[in-house]
Amino acid sequence: MTNRIEKLNSLIQKSELDAVVVNPGASFRYLTGLQFHLMERPVVLIVALGGQPVLILPKLEAAKLEELTFKCQVRLYGDDPATWQEEFDHALADFQNVELRIGVEPTGLRYLELEFLRKSLPLAEFVDGSQVFAQLRMRKDANELTKMRKAAEIAENALLSTLRTIRVGQTEKEIAAELLMQLYRHGSDQELPFAPIVASGPNTANPHASPSQRRVDAGDVLLFDWGAGYEGYFSDITRCFFVEMIDQRMVEIAETVQHANHYAVAAGKAGMTAGQVDAVARDEIEKNGFGEYFTHRTGHGLGMEAHEAPYIFSGSDLTLEEGMVFTIEPGIYLPGLGGVRIEDDVVVERDGLTSLTTLPREVMTIEKYLQLFEFFEKLV
């Protein structure tokens, strides 16, 4: 954690900031190793150039400080909200009459903490610090990658167990409940990257469908978008299947998406831009006449959050570097008919992209899929 604080200080300096502040969340855990949930009591970490980090939190959370592995100025406060501003003032007394540029995570810092900070630091300017945090966490080290591979393994095993239980007539919600149970049985953290998506038939045309009471029917496309957590790191995978029999109208769509996924993974490498990777997948879909039905970016970063930098979208000039992890998830969605998405988690390595996810990507019946998987498992 000390190394991470030092790296953050270097990034603060390069970004011409004086400090950054963070709420509990992924960056907070990354920097401190401590897990807090957002609540009605403010919790904030301030890291300023040239000084010790400052941590402000309620007394009831003091026991967690035993896990802190770096020197930090800690300010604890009690239950009376009327005293909280005074504690912020004391903690930040050295900066009260100084003009500061303080970086914040735009999607992370709450109004609650921001107001306490503004009153304690009246001369401070709070600015977008998202690039600092992106640079801090985008490149995963070997330990982080080990955890992400485990998160992928847990998710894949959970899906295979779920597939063995699926029958015509089940609702999407019933299947999603089974998948949730299997995720925990196979060792997922309690915190998941997101609530699993299980969609069938025409519902698969909605990229972010929620499991409904729709009953699965023979010939449906059944889409799973799910992930697991392992020691704070996530996986995010999408696979599609035909239920009992193949719908020939969807075969061309499924094959096009599979090819787009394959080509993007095969082409990607360090030194390319994120936009170039997006173009590989998008060009394959457009070439086959489905361009207008690929309605989202090709991928997003993954790690301690389900969506984080880097983002793989058309025109992005971000250069891919070793250690970056992101999804490749092209999709085609035809309203009223259905859709197919195939999503893998990949890491940028010296010679290309390596997939952390291993399940077969072909869209076939569930029965054939399980037979194929078991056949290859025996070969291994």
Confidence of residue 51 (pLDDT cuts 50, 70, 90): confident
**Interacting residues of 336 by C-beta distance below 8 A, sequence separation 6+:** 202, 205
Overall average pLDDT of the 170-186 stretch: 98
* Per-residue pLDDT at 378 exceeds 80: no
Instruction: Return the number of other C-beta atoms located less than 10 Å from residue 216's C-beta.
Output: 21
Question: In DSSP terms, which residues pair with 238 in a beta bridge?
Answer: 225, 343
Domain boundary among 112, 137, 162: 137
pTM over 0.85: yes
* Of 67-76, 78-87, 174-183, minimum mean pLDDT range: 67-76
Residues 329-340: tens digit of each pLDDT: 999 999 999 999
Asked if residue 159 and residue 109 are part of one domain, the reply reads: no
Asked if residue 146 and residue 131 are part of one domain, the reply reads: no
Q: Please provide the average confidence, as pLDDT, over all residues in the chain.
A: 95
Say what the pLDDT of residue 120 is.
96
Residue among 231, 268, 257, 277 nearest 355 (CA):
268
What is the rounded distance in angstroms from the CA atom of residue 356 to the CA atom of residue 39?
A: 34
* Per-residue pLDDT at 100 exceeds 90: yes
| 8 Å CB contact between 320 and 270 | yes
What is the rounded distance in angstroms from the CA atom of residue 34 to the CA atom of residue 148?
A: 19
Q: Which tokens is 10 given?
A: 């270097």
Domain boundary among 104, 137, 170: 137
CATH label of the domain that carries residue 37: 3.40.350.10
| 8 Å CB contact between 217 and 243 | yes
Residue given tokens 């490749």 in the structure block: 328
Asked if residue 176 and residue 50 are part of one domain, the reply reads: no
Domain boundary among 95, 115, 137: 137
Overall average pLDDT of the 29-39 stretch: 92
Asked if residue 132 and residue 238 are part of one domain, the reply reads: no
Confidence of residue 2 (pLDDT cuts 50, 70, 90): confident
Residue type, position 105, single letter: E
Asked if residue 200 and residue 180 are part of one domain, the reply reads: yes
Asked if residue 165 and residue 83 are part of one domain, the reply reads: no
| 8 Å CB contact between 202 and 336 | yes
Say what the pLDDT of residue 164 is.
97
Say what the pLDDT of residue 379 is.
64
* Of 144-153, 290-299, 302-311, 364-373, minimum mean pLDDT range: 364-373
Overall average pLDDT of the 347-365 stretch: 96
Asked if residue 179 and residue 133 are part of one domain, the reply reads: no
Overall average pLDDT of the 193-206 stretch: 98
Confidence of residue 380 (pLDDT cuts 50, 70, 90): low
Asked if residue 170 and residue 126 are part of one domain, the reply reads: no
Asked if residue 164 and residue 100 are part of one domain, the reply reads: no
How far is it between the farthest Cα atoms of the chain? 71
Overall average pLDDT of the 100-106 stretch: 96
* Per-residue pLDDT at 215 exceeds 90: yes
* Per-residue pLDDT at 1 exceeds 80: no
**Interacting residues of 269 by C-beta distance below 8 A, sequence separation 6+:** 320, 348, 351, 352, 353
What is the Cα gyration radius of the chain?
23
Say what the pLDDT of residue 37 is.
87
Q: How far is CA 98 from the centre of its chain?
A: 37
Asked if residue 284 and residue 177 are part of one domain, the reply reads: yes
* Per-residue pLDDT at 153 exceeds 90: yes
Asked if residue 251 and residue 362 are part of one domain, the reply reads: yes
Residues 224-272: tens digit of each pLDDT: 999 999 999 999 999 999 999 999 999 999 999 999 999 999 999 999 9
Overall average pLDDT of the 139-161 stretch: 98
Structural domain range at position 47: 2-137
Q: Total structural domains in the chain?
A: 2
